[in-house]
Structure 1
């Protein structure tokens, strides 16, 4: 066989192979490659979207944490103010009670002083009667001389 005929036949077979490959084999391969490229692009887009959502979620969490910290600080401040007010109120009530107790004690002491003076006056009057009795060497009747003894008590 002639080399030119062999080359010509091989060229025809090669052309048929190229046509068959371009017609039946190449489209499914390009379709699969395009689908794969699309899936990769979608995955990258989803990753970028998830990254941005994560960043916004982190930002919201930070904002909520800051708000919670501020609210907690405010609540603590209010609680401290309320505690101070309660302590001041209790201190005021204690001072009032102390003043009442002191006033009652002073009144009681004054009453005891008045009672002690009256008892002392009675004793002095009794001693005066006994002294006068001894001086006069006779008994002085207290019921008879009640008016005199009353004046003597008031003078003392």
Structure 2
């Protein structure tokens, strides 16, 4: 055999193999590689979207936490204001009640004083009548009696 014919036959077989590979083997491999590349690209895009969504979720959670803290602070401030208002109202009511009790006590004291005065007047009048009775029993002098009665009247 001739080396040229063998080389030429090997060249034809090699070229046939290359054509066969390019026509039948390479397209499915290229297709599989393209599909794999697109899946990887989709996965990377999904990961990027997930990362972006995660960052947005973190921001939203931070905003919600800040809003919640603000609402809690506002509620606490409102509760403190309400408590101060309730305390102030209680003080006012206690003040009004104390004034009412004081006025009632003064009125009661005034009534008792008036009763005591009336009782004293009655006792003084009774004593005056007794005194007049005893004076009249001892002697009857109209001028002295009138003077005594006017003195008693002024004292009362």
| 1:119 aligned partner | 119
- Cα-Cα RMSD: 2.6
**Alignment partners' CA distance in 2, 1:59 and 1:48:** 16
Q: What CA distance in whole angstroms lies between the structure 1 residues aligned with 2:42 and 2:28?
A: 21
Instruction: Flag the structure with more relative contact order, 1 or 2, with Cα contacts below 8 A and sequence separation at least 6.
Output: 2
Q: 1:154 to 1:54 in 2, by over 3 A?
A: farther
**What's the counterpart of residue 144 of structure 1?**
none
Q: 1:145 — aligned with what?
A: none
Decide which moves more: 128-137 or 87-96: 128-137
In the alignment, which residue of structure 2 is the partner of 1:108? 108
In the TM superposition, residue 134 of structure 1 has moved relative to its aligned partner by 5.6
Quick check: 5-14 or 15-24, which moved more?
5-14
| Aligned mates of 1:18, 1:50 — CA distance in 2 | 44
Aligned to 1:37: 37
Number of residue pairs aligned between Structure 1 and Structure 2: 146
Give the C-alpha shift of residue 85 in structure 1.
1.5
Q: Secondary structure at the match of 1:98?
A: helix
Counterparts of 1:153 and 1:15 in 2: how far apart (Å)?
160
| Runs of 5+ consecutive residues of structure 2 not aligned to the other structure | 139-147
- The offset of 1:76, in angstroms, is 1.6
Shift of 1:114: 0.8
Corresponding residue of 1:79: 79
Name structure 1 gaps, 5 residues minimum: 139-147
